[in-house]
Amino acid sequence: MFQVFPTARLRPSPFYAAAVAEGMTAASIYSRMIMPTSYGDPEAEYWRLINGVSQWDVGVERQVQLKGPDAGRLAQILCPRDLSTCKVGQGKYVPLCNHRGTIINDPILLKLADDLYWLSIADSDIWFWASAIAAERGLVVQVSEPDVSPMALQGPKAEDVVAHVLGDWVRGLKYFWFRETEINGIPVAVQRSGWSKQGGFEIYLKDGTRGTELWNIFKEAGQPWGIGPGAPATAERTESGLVSVGGDTDDMTNPFEVRLGKYVDLSVPDDVVGIQALRRIKAEGVRRHQLGLVLEGEKPAPLGFQRDSILREGQRIGMMTNCVWSPRMKANIGYALIEAGVAAGEVVQVHRDDGLVAARLVELPFL
């Protein structure tokens, strides 16, 4: 047992005190912040997400704000997805790539105004990247990290809870669309989004001094629906086929390898970072692709990234990037990043601490 304490560098989220009060038992580090990952009963937390409503401190999803006359131009230069039709109030999932076409982050982009965007980022430092590219291209735009921290409500009953707090208009919000509003004078943006496929909303808190207050408003409002604390759930996201950039990807992974090619528009302007490489990769075809793995037996496999961990007839053909017990499939499942010639339906061997275990390759998502 060890403890990690918040410091100026390991910043607590505005919901940290609430998470501790809820009985947080485990946490991870994400964007140099503490992210609660469990409250002591992972099984109950999983079923609450599948059947009810779960409340998550995802303040680690930091915003990179682009503000100024060239904000829209910078957003498009950073994103190999066409943003020309993106409306104010709309969000879009946008894999970001470097000049070689390698995925470096996969934010949700929010267009707050014609001259104001947020990139709601995953775990890498896009603030440096965006400001460097803006400066190199001579753009008139300020890049900053605003005081904005999301809290998620996920699960089939999330909509009822959010409508109870905010009104029935939230039921009409389309996927990834959002609206700025206030809750008891607390400034927020409310978006239909979240890192699960169970449906739900994210409440972006715009005043970091009011995290506990906002947390408790939803905690109390959610009582009739059995709300409880939870966190982005590895089992659910794996079953649902969501990609974790940095977890399921390495320093050579392009979007086409991990089923994110549908978020790349090859017709975006030539000055979009990475687009030339992405066009070349698309023309040449990928060398690897992502499939699901269903392991034989009930013994858990080690979590996480293992290079060359998948074998076929003694040959190393790829790696298992993630592995978790699926309560709904009653099996250990994971993702393979594997040679493109290897197809779903084949049986391979996966390295485990006690030797090799057989695994069947399947198409994603599992469910």
Query: Does residue 118 touch ligand THG according to CB under 6 A?
Result: no
The answer to whether the CB of 263 falls within 8 A of the CB of 93 is: yes
Q: Which is nearer to ligand THG, 93 or 177 (CB)?
A: 93
Report in angstroms how near the CB of residue 231 gets to ligand THG at its nearest.
12
CB 148 within 8 A of CB 206: yes
Q: How far is the CB of 289 from ligand THG (least distance, A)?
A: 16
Min separation Cβ 216 and ligand THG, Å: 21
CB-based contact 167:221 (threshold 8 Å): no
Residue closer to ligand THG, measured from CB, 150 or 211: 150
Region from 45-53, 118-126, 156-164, 294-302 binding ligand THG, contact rule CB under 6 A: 118-126
In the region spanning residues 328 to 357, those forming contacts with ligand THG, defined by CB under 6 A, are none
As a whole number of angstroms, the distance between CA 333 and CA 324 comes to: 6
Rounded to whole angstroms, the Cα distance separating 135 from 131 reads: 6
- Bridge partner residues of 352 (DSSP): 355
What is the β-pairing status of strands 228-230 and 54-57? Answer: parallel
Query: In sequence order, which ranges of the chain are alpha helices (DSSP H)?
Result: 16-21, 42-51, 71-78, 126-136, 158-166, 211-221, 234-240, 275-284
How many residues touch ligand THG (CB under 6 A)? 14
Measured from the CB of residue 296, what is the shortest distance to ligand THG in angstroms? 28
Write the interaction track for ligand THG spanning residues 192-211; mark x where CB under 6 A is met and - where it is not: -xxx------x---------
Stretch that binds ligand THG, among 38-46, 103-111, 159-167, 324-332 (CB under 6 A): 103-111
Give min distance, CB of 277 to ligand THG, in A.
21
From the list 306, 288, 292, 309, the residue with the least C-alpha distance to 361 is 292
Q: Is 364 in the site for ligand THG (CB under 6 A)?
A: no
Express the helix, strand and coil content of the chain in percent, nearest 5 each. 25, 35, 45
Asked whether position 150 contacts ligand THG by CB under 6 A, the answer is yes
**Residues of this chain that bind ligand THG (CB under 6 A):** 61, 93, 106-108, 120-122, 150, 193-195, 202, 242
